[in-house]
């Protein structure tokens, strides 16, 4: 299959490479050139955004609403795309942006799917992501072979793209809540003279055996926030998306305010380049342990 792939950060580069390795012809674009060069060395075709859309099937993995709006909702890009072209946005964006994108594609006879993913960069590299798909079922079926390369399972959650984004936003919100809970608990454990890492080992062997507690808990317990699988500013962005989604639907999110302030504290202390698990350092600062 001939496809375009736009956005080659840690997640996007791994996903595009898996499509290449599966035998697909992949045209790639990224704002910076180095990821494009690496994938071109592996057999991808360096292309412009318009050339990626010209394939008729383009996947995108840009960082936020602003990047998607600037690069992929540019009227010149959409007007030049072939009739019936399918854009699959796999990034975590707001439901408002998803609604706008679906509308602006439809106005031009184009198709739009939201297919955000759960999983860190290691899962992306292993083709072990979970894909949450929203949009026309026929379009989802059309790109199912691509999803099968990228992930372990695809979950269609609704016929509106924004519905998939809502699921993704609140999946990430629950992860952020779990990180904050572990941060607070380990701060108390440390203040009590105990080893936070051993505490996390007990929990992940008994009560909380899933990947969130094992992966992020291990980082928090050892205070080792590398390798960075999900940068802290992106975590803050997703907390903000959750708060906005709740406000739009008149649903209070009391924990969301706590998370927002914890992430702001981390950003104010220069933790922009750390994994979002490093927000645990906020709890340590509040406890006088830093």
Sign of CA dihedral 48, 49, 54, 56: positive
Residue 209: alpha-carbon gap to chain centroid: 22
222 is catalytic: no
Give the HSE-up count for residue 190: Cα atoms under 13 Å, Cβ half-sphere.
Answer: 23
CA angle, corner 130, sides to 226 and 81, nearest 5? 100
* Residue 15 vs residues 114, 175, 272: alpha-carbon distances, Å: 16, 22, 24
CA distance 45 to 27: 5
C-alpha distances (whole Å) from 187 to each of 53, 92, 184, 195, 281 are 49, 30, 5, 10, 9
Tokens 């802290």 belong to residue = 232
Q: Which residues, at least 6 apart from 122, have a Cβ–Cβ distance to it below 8 Å? A: 229
Catalytic residue among 24, 111, 168, 284: 168
Catalytic residues: 168
């Amino acid at each position: 299959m001939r496809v375009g792939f736009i956005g080659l950060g840690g997640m996007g580069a791994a996903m595009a490479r898996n499509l290449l390795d599966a035998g697909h012809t992949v045209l790639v674009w990224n704002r910076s050139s180095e990821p494009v060069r690496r994938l071109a060395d592996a057999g991808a075709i360096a292309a412009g955004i318009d050339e990626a859309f010209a394939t008729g099937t383009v996947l995108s993995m840009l960082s936020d609403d602003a990047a998607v709006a600037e690069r992929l909702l540019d009227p010149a890009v959409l007007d030049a795309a072939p009739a019936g072209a399918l854009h699959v946005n796999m990034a975590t964006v707001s439901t408002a942006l998803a609604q706008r994108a679906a509308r602006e594609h439809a106005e031009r006879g184009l198709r739009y799917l939201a297919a955000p993913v759960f999983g860190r960069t290691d899962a992306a590299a292993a083709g072990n992501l979970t894909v949450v798909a929203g949009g026309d079922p026929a379009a989802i079926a059309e790109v199912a072979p691509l999803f099968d390369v990228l992930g372990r399972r695809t979950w269609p959650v609704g016929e509106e793209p924004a519905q998939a984004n809502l699921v993704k936003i609140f999946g990430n919100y629950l992860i952020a809540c779990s990180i904050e809970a572990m941060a607070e608990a380990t701060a108390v454990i440390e203040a009590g003279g105990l080893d936070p890492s051993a505490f996390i080992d007990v929990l992940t062997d008994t009560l909380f055996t899933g990947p969130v507690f094992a992966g992020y808990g291990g980082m928090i317990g050892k205070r080792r926030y590398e390798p960075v699988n999900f940068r802290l500013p992106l975590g803050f962005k997703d907390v903000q998306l959750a708060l906005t989604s709740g406000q739009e639907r008149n649903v209070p999110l009391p924990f969301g305010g706590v998370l927002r302030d914890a992430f702001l504290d981390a950003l104010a202390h220069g933790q922009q380049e750390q994994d979002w698990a490093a927000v645990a350092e906020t709890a340590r600062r509040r406890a006088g342990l830093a």
